[in-house]
Amino acid sequence: MKRQQNLGLATFRVEQTNRLRFCPECTRDMSANFGELYWRRDHQLPSVLVCPDHGCTLLESTVSFSQHSRHEFIAATPKNCPRYARPVVQVMDKLQLFHLQRLTRLSVEVLDSPPKPRTFAGWTAFYRRRMMEAGLARSSGTMDQQRFNQEFKKFYGRALKLLPNVMEGDEFAGDWLAAMVRKHRKANHPLYHLLVQNFLAQCDQHVSPFGSGSWPCLNPLARHHSPTPIKEVSQHRNHSKMVGVFACSCGYVYTRCFDSATGKLGQPRFMHYGPLLEPALRQLVAQGASLRETGRALQLDPKTVVRLAGELGIIVSWRLVLSGRVQIAPTCAKPTQKLPPDNPSDPVRHRERSAFARLD
């Protein structure tokens, strides 16, 4: 019991077993091979309802935890493990038995080879990534909970109602399923982890329109050891388009759009440069580089260069004008000046609004 308290198992919704369990086929093999019976630890897990070796339903012994001290030794015998004992569950069909056997194998694997621990943030990222791969997320931070619930119930069917504290009527007990793919703030019972991980592993893997990674960084100022240093891409939906945000450790961020209607992937669009921009831009300005030369060095269009210089408070000698007529941007610490409102009846101004030229 002390071990359970240290692990936090006593506070979980999933209750511990209240009687020792055994497999009738195992007891017969034990008697034939060793001349005595013994308790198997994998039979006592709340997620194990069938024997991992024989696949038959476990039976409840007469040994109740409430009637004996936790320090008392009680050997397994034919008397407290009778063959007429009550089964822990009543399996109704082959599909239920299949899921219970699969869950048993997974439970035994965790018992024999515990996985590496994860932080709460690690679990959140793990399940969100798997939900994205299964096509059950609207974006990297928004899960399709309704579809997730429906697909989960459809996958396991009536087997869910055989498991302890998984269902309350037709709903998930304590809304645990939704909590598993939200931001993790507390530990969850191993049974819930096994159910969700097994379900996601069986889902068809949906390939991201941006590929499976890794991805290149488009920062011309950065020197990476790998040609594809970006290992993850966050995604969100914008109307009919899926937008991928590619953020590199150097601070450079760009986006690409995938149009689901046409199936076409858009060109990369600059979003953020990161800390390498300011010293490089100041050096180019000090060297007297022209606006076009600076744009080529930074791989940015002239308007973006002027805007970033204004945001960084870098005084430059460039200026953008509207086809030789109206000055758009004095190139100092302030960004571009706004044009007066367009007159729809003036076709000349309408044509010139996007026609920029450079004056050195």
CA distance 207 to 136: 12
User: pLDDT tens across 110-167, in order?
Assistant: 999 999 999 999 999 999 988 988 888 877 788 989 999 999 999 999 999 999 889 9
Instruction: Quote the pLDDT of residue 146.
Output: 92
Decide the pairing of beta strands 234-238 and 19-22.
Answer: unpaired
Instruction: Label residue 109 left, alpha or beta by phi (over 0 means left) and psi (-120 to 50 means alpha).
Output: alpha
Q: What does the pLDDT look like over 279-326, one tens digit per residue?
A: 999 999 999 999 999 999 999 999 999 999 999 999 988 876 545 443
Position 330 pLDDT exceeds 80 = no
**CA torsion, ordered 20, 21, 25, 28, to nearest 10 deg:** 10
Phi/psi of residue 270, each to 5°? -65, 140
**Residue 13 binned pLDDT confidence (cut-offs 50, 70, 90):** low
Hey, which bits of the chain come out as E strands?
19-22, 59-64, 167-168, 171-172, 234-238, 241-247, 253-259, 264-265, 269-272, 319-322, 326-330, 356-359
Q: Which among 311, 310, 359, 312 is positioned nearest to 331, based on CA atoms?
A: 310
Q: Per the confidence metrics, is the pTM higher than 0.95? A: no
The domain locations on the chain are 11-110, 115-202, 207-275, 277-359
